[in-house]
Chain A
Amino acid sequence: MATIFWKELADHLGSKRFFILSLIILVVAGTSVYLGIQAFRENPENVGEYAYLALFTTAQSGLPSFLSFLAFFGPLLAVLLGFDAINSEFTKGTVSRILSQPIYRDSWINGKFLAGMATLGLMVASIVLLIFGLGLFALGFPPDIGEFGRLVVFVVVAIVYLGFWLALGLLYSVLFRQTASSALAAVATWLFFTLFLYMIAGVIADQLAPIRSDSTASDLLRNQNIRDFVLRFSPVALFEEATLPILVPTYRGLSLLAMLTRTDVPTSPLSLGQSLLVGWPELVGLVALTSVCFAVAYLVFMRREIRIS
C-alpha cells in the first residue's frame, strides 16, 4: 500500500490541479490576514485576547471569513482530488495492469484515499501556518498556547470535513464510469449542500412553523429548530457548527437561547474542552459521514467487475 500511497501523493503534488489550488490558497490566506488585521486595528477590544483566532473568523465588507471560505470552497478542492481517482484508471486501461500485480485490491483504494487525505492535510496545515506566520508578522505578538491548541484541533476537524468530500469524490469515481459524469455529480452535490439546502431549510421551516406578526417566542423557537434540523443534513452546516466553538471561545451554540444570551449576557470564553463539548455532536456526525462515505466507495469498488469494454 505504501507504494501506491507515495505514487498517488507524488501525482497529486505534481499535478496542475494542485498548483492552481495552491495559488487560491495563497490569495485566501492573504485576504483573511488582511481582514483580521483590519478588524484588530479598528477595534482591538472586540477582538480581545484571541487575535489569532479572529484572523480565521473575521468577515468584512462582503469578503468571507477564512472559516466560511473553507466550508464553502474546501469541498470543491477535496472533490477535485477524488472525482476521477478510480474511473480514470478504467478509461486509461491501467486497472487490470495494476490489479494483476500482487497487491490486495483494497490497498489500492485505501492508498488513494490516504494520499488524498495527506494532500488535503498538507494544504490545510500549510494555509493555517501561513496565516499564523503572516499574523505574527502583522500583529507583533505571539499567540498563546490556548490559541495554538484550538488551531490544531481546528486543522484536524477541517481535514475530517474535507475527507468527507474526498470520500464522496472517490465514491462517485467508483459509481460512474465516465470522469465527466462523476465530476458533474460531485459539483451538483456540492451545490446542493452549500446553497440549496440552506434555501430549502428556510422554506420548510416557514411551512411547518410559519412566523406571523402574532407569533409567540415558542413559534420562533420551533421555526428555528426545524431550520437547524434540516440544515444538519448538510456536512457544510455540520462543519460550521463544529468549528465555530473551537475558533470562537465565547460561542455557546446555535440555539435561540444561546443566541439571546450572547447579546444580553456578557459571556466569558470557555475552555477548549468545553468548546469541544458544544460542537461534539456535529463533530461525531462529521466523522460518521466521512467513514460511511468511504465505506460505501470501498464496498462498491471491491465488488466491481474489472472487465473493461
Chain B
Amino acid sequence: MIVEAKGLRKRYKDIWALDGLDLTVQEGEIYGLLGPNGSGKTTTILILLGLTEPTEGTVRVCGHDPVREPLAVKRVVGYLPEKVGFYEELSAWENLRLITRLNGIPEPEAKRRIAEALEQVGLKEIAKRPVATLSHGMRQRLGIADVLVKKPKLAILDEPTSGIDPEGAVQVLELIKRLRDEARMTVILSSHLLYQVQRICDRVGILQKGRMVAEGTVAELTGEEGGLLATVAGSTPELRARLEGEEWTVSVEDLGGGRLQVLLEEDGRENLFQIVVEERATLLELRPRSRSLEEIYLRYFQE
C-alpha cells in the first residue's frame, strides 16, 4: 500500500475542504482523482505531500506520516503542481539542476538523470534555453521532467494535461503510462478531463465536496450503470404492456407522440427486436447507457 488515508478532514477558515475522505492507492497503480473545481483534489494532494496538515484523520505515504516526517515523504514522492512555475531567467537545465541539488543527488548522477529526463519528455534540444522562452506545453513537460529527475516511487500529478493541446496531452498521457510500466512508478493524477482519466487510469475516485462519492476501476464504475436504452416509435398500449411484462425490462417511459423509452438489460436485446417487429412498431435507437465516465460524473454533480 503506497498511500493510505483515513477519515481526512481539512478546514480552511469556515469551509470544510475535505470532509471525511478515505483513499488507498496500491503500488504500481495509476489512480485518477476526479472532481469539479473545489472538490478537494488539490487539498488531498497537498496533505499527501505534507505541504499542509489535515485537521483530522491519518495519512501514510510509502510507510511514512507526512505530518511527522515530511522529509522522508518528500524524498520518495515527486510532485507536479497544478500551475507549475519555474525560475524564468534560468534555463530548463538549470531549473532541473536546482532540484537535483535540493535532493542531494551527486553531480555525475544528476547530470545523467537530467539528460535522461529531458530526453524522455522530448525537451533535449531546448535544455539550454531560458524557461521564459518556453511555450506552455513545453513547461508542462518540463514539469514532468522535474518529477522524473527525482526517480520517485510515487508521482503525484495535479492536472498534468491542463493547458496543453490535444496532441500534446496524448503524448503526456502516453509518457505517464510508460513510466508506470517501465519504472514501476505509482501515479496519482487529478484531472477534470474525463476521457483522459478513462484512458490511462487503473482506478478512479470521484470527489465531491470533500468526500469520495464513487471509487473503483473504470469498468466497475461504468458497469454499474450498464444496460441498454431503446427508443421505440409507433407504440400501442399492447406493446407497452408486453414490454413491461418482460423480465429484462428495467423501466418504460412514455416520451409522448407514441414514443417509448425502454431501459433494458443486455440480454433482452434480441427479444426486444422481436417484440417491436411483432407489434409493428419502429425501433428508432438502441444504445448502451452510460458507457463513459462522463455520464456518471454528470449524474453526481448535477445536484
User: Of B51, B75, B83, B84, which contacts A102 at CB under 8 A?
Assistant: B75
User: Of A7, A89, A92, A97, which contacts B146 at CB under 8 A?
Assistant: A97
Interface positions of B (Cβ within 8 A of A) = 12, 42-43, 46, 49, 51-52, 71-72, 74-75, 77-79, 81-89, 98-99, 101-104, 143, 146, 150
Contact status A94-B12, CB under 8 Å: no
Q: How many residues of A contact B (CB 8 A)?
A: 24
Write the chain B residue with the least CB distance to A99. B51
Write the chain B residue with the least CB distance to A101. B102
Q: Which residues of A contact B81 (CB under 8 A)?
A: 93, 96-97, 100, 308
User: Of B74, B82, B86, B101, which contacts A100 at CB under 8 A?
Assistant: B74
Q: Which residues of B contact A93 (CB under 8 A)?
A: 81, 83-85
Contact status A100-B51, CB under 8 Å: yes
Contact status A102-B74, CB under 8 Å: yes
CA gap between A100 and B84 in the complex, in Å? 12
Interchain nearest-CB distance for A12 vs B (Å): 12
Write the chain B residue with the least CB distance to A100. B79
A104-B71, A305-B12 in contact; A97/B79 too (CB < 8 A)?
yes
A156 at the interface (CB under 8 A from B): no
Interchain nearest-CB distance for A308 vs B (Å): 7
Q: Which residues of B contact A103 (CB under 8 A)?
A: 71, 74, 102
Q: Which of A14, A100, A103 has the most chain B CB atoms inside 10 A of its CB?
A: A100
Q: Which of A98, A99, A103 has the most chain B CB atoms inside 10 A of its CB?
A: A99
The 12 listed contacts between A and B (C-beta, < 8 Å) are A93-B81, A93-B83, A94-B85, A97-B143, A100-B74, A101-B74, A102-B75, A102-B102, A103-B71, A103-B74, A305-B12, A306-B52
Interchain nearest-CB distance for A301 vs B (Å): 13
Q: Which residues of A contact B103 (CB under 8 A)?
A: 101-102
Q: Which 7 A-B pairs have the closest CB atoms?
A: A93-B85, A100-B79, A92-B85, A101-B102, A96-B81, A102-B74, A94-B85
A213 at the interface (CB under 8 A from B): no
A92-B85, A100-B74 in contact; A307/B42 too (CB < 8 A)?
yes
Contact status B74-A96, CB under 8 Å: no
Q: Which residues of B contact A14 (CB under 8 A)?
A: 89
Interface contacts beyond A100-B49, A306-B51, A306-B52: sample of 18 additional A-B pairs, CB < 8 Å, sorted by A: A3-B98, A4-B102, A7-B98, A11-B87, A94-B85, A95-B85, A97-B86, A100-B51, A100-B78, A100-B79, A102-B71, A102-B72, A102-B75, A102-B104, A103-B71, A307-B42, A307-B46, A309-B42
Q: Which residues of B contact A11 (CB under 8 A)?
A: 87
CA gap between A100 and B85 in the complex, in Å? 13
Q: Which of A1-52 contact B (CB under 8 A)?
A: 3-4, 7, 11, 14
CA gap between A143 and B82 in the complex, in Å? 60
Q: Which of A96, A98, A309 has the most chain B CB atoms inside 10 A of its CB?
A: A96
Contact status A94-B102, CB under 8 Å: no
Q: Which residues of B contact A97 (CB under 8 A)?
A: 79, 81, 84-86, 99, 143, 146
Q: Which of A73-127 contact B (CB under 8 A)?
A: 89, 92-104
Write the chain A residue with the least CB distance to B139. A93
CA gap between A65 and B90 in the complex, in Å? 40
CA gap between A99 and B99 in the complex, in Å? 10
CA gap between A218 and B12 in the complex, in Å? 59
Q: Which of B72, B82, B98, B103 has the most chain A CB atoms inside 10 A of its CB?
A: B98
Contact status B87-A92, CB under 8 Å: yes
CA gap between A102 and B51 in the complex, in Å? 11
CA gap between A231 and B46 in the complex, in Å? 47
Q: Which residues of A contact B75 (CB under 8 A)?
A: 102
CA gap between A7 and B42 in the complex, in Å? 29
CA gap between A308 and B88 in the complex, in Å? 19
Interchain nearest-CB distance for A119 vs B (Å): 17
Q: Which residues of A contact B86 (CB under 8 A)?
A: 92, 94, 97
Q: Which residues of B contact A100 (CB under 8 A)?
A: 49, 51, 74, 77-79, 81
Q: Which residues of A contact B101 (CB under 8 A)?
A: 3, 7
CA gap between A11 and B95 in the complex, in Å? 13
Q: Which residues of B contact A7 (CB under 8 A)?
A: 98, 101
Write the chain A residue with the least CB distance to B104. A102
Q: Which residues of B contact A307 (CB under 8 A)?
A: 12, 42-43, 46, 52
Interchain nearest-CB distance for A202 vs B (Å): 45
Write the chain B residue with the least CB distance to A107. B102
CA gap between A14 and B27 in the complex, in Å? 44
Write the chain A residue with the least CB distance to B85. A93
